[in-house]
Amino acid sequence: MDLDVQVERLRTLRVAHRQQQYRLEDIVRHFPKKEKVQKKQIAGITADMDRYKRNATEDFRIEIDGTAYIERPAAGKILLEHLQEFVAHSLMNRNKSTNFADMTLDIAEAEPPKPLSMTLKGFPIELRMSRDSLDPVAVFHGSQSYRITMGADAIGNIVRLENALERLPTMLTEAENELHMLENNVASARAELDKPFPYEDEWREKSARLAELNVALNMDMQDDSAAVVLDDAMEIVEIVENEPQERRAATYAR
């Protein structure tokens, strides 16, 4: 392999090693903040699991606007009506119509809905509009907040709310796994951080050798150029010396 190719390959590896060191520094530097956030999330989910267990019952029960519903169809029907009003009013300023849950209501004619009070298993629930779509979302408020997208199916919305709380143990496991991953990543980063480039000596040696060869090559090129100029000059002198005396005299006279 040519020396210049070897040097270029080593230079590329050296740059990649330096960039990797920067990434490792970022992992170590940002770890305390990420660890704090993750531990707070774990503590919050744990507290919410305790709240869920304290309020868990075998029978279904949800409170909507102060009324307790123990049957899912009835609760789903009243919730869907609130969702329709909420969606209509939320889109009023966008000057659009909606077909959410087969709605035919003109947005411009929608009146502001009454604030909805809703509680399930000890968790208050707030309705919001999704930032990414025109779908309404329900937000459980505990030590942490949990967002669930609502749909046009009355029973389906109730099931989504119940499933969200039943997923708390799964969310806790996921949060704990995320913390373990952060800890493993920072441990690996600290082990690799500040390690020198393994081919540093080879890169320096071959780079220096390549530089020497380039200098020698430039000097040879300069010598060749000087030799060409000298040869041209000698040819001119030779021509002049061999020129007839009369012609040279005439040339000088001019």
Do residue 212 and residue 165 come from a single domain?
no
Rg (CA), the chain: 40
C-beta of residue 59 within 8 angstroms of C-beta of residue 221? no
Q: Are residues 163 and 219 in the same domain?
A: no
Does residue 9 lie within any of the structural domains?
no
Q: What pLDDT, on a 0 to 100 scale, did the predictor assign at position 134?
A: 73
Residues 161 and 212 in one domain: no
* pLDDT score, position 252: 40
Cα–Cα distances (Å) from 247 to 182, 233, 234, 239, in that order, read 94, 20, 20, 12
| pLDDT at residue 104, rounded to an integer | 46
Residue 10 covered by a domain: no
Q: How far apart are the C-alpha atoms of 160 and 68, rounded to whole Å?
A: 18
The answer to whether residue 85 sits within a structural domain is yes
Same domain, 86 and 163: yes
Residues 162, 249 within the same domain: no
Tell me: do 101 and 159 sit in the same domain: yes
Q: How many CA atoms are closer than 13 Å to the CA of 228, on its beta-carbon side?
A: 6
Note whether 186 and 25 are within 8 A (CB). no
217-240 burial code (b ≥16 CB/10 A, e <16): eeeeeeeeeeeeeeeeeeeeeeee
pLDDT of residue 63: 95
Same domain, 169 and 205: no
Q: How many whole angstroms separate alpha carbon 34 and alpha carbon 71? A: 43
The Cβ of residue 26 has, within 10 Å, a number of other Cβ atoms equal to 11
Measured CA to CA, the distance from residue 22 to residue 20 in angstroms comes to 5
State residue 111's pLDDT score: 55
167 and 53 co-located in one domain: yes
Q: How far apart are CA 234 and CA 247, in angstroms?
A: 20
pLDDT at site 213: 86
What are 108's two structure tokens? 């411009």
Residue 146 φ/ψ, nearest 5 degrees: -135, 125
User: Based on the structure, what is the number of domains in the chain?
Assistant: 2
102 in any annotated domain: yes
Phi-psi region of 140 (alpha: psi -120 to 50; beta: other; left: phi over 0): beta
Adjacent-strand bridge partners of 194: none
| 135 and 216 together in one domain | no
Residues 143 and 219 in one domain: no
The answer to whether position 190 is within a domain reads: no
Residues 6+ apart with CB under 8 A from 113: 82, 85, 86, 88, 89
Can you give the residue range of the structural domain that contains 234?
200-253
Residues 150 and 234 in one domain: no
Report the distance separating Cα 201 and Cα 192, nearest Å. 19
CA distance 11 to 5: 10
- Residue 157 sits in the same domain as residue 210: no
What residues in the chain have per-residue pLDDT under 50?
A: 103-110, 226-230, 233-234, 236-237, 239-240, 246-254
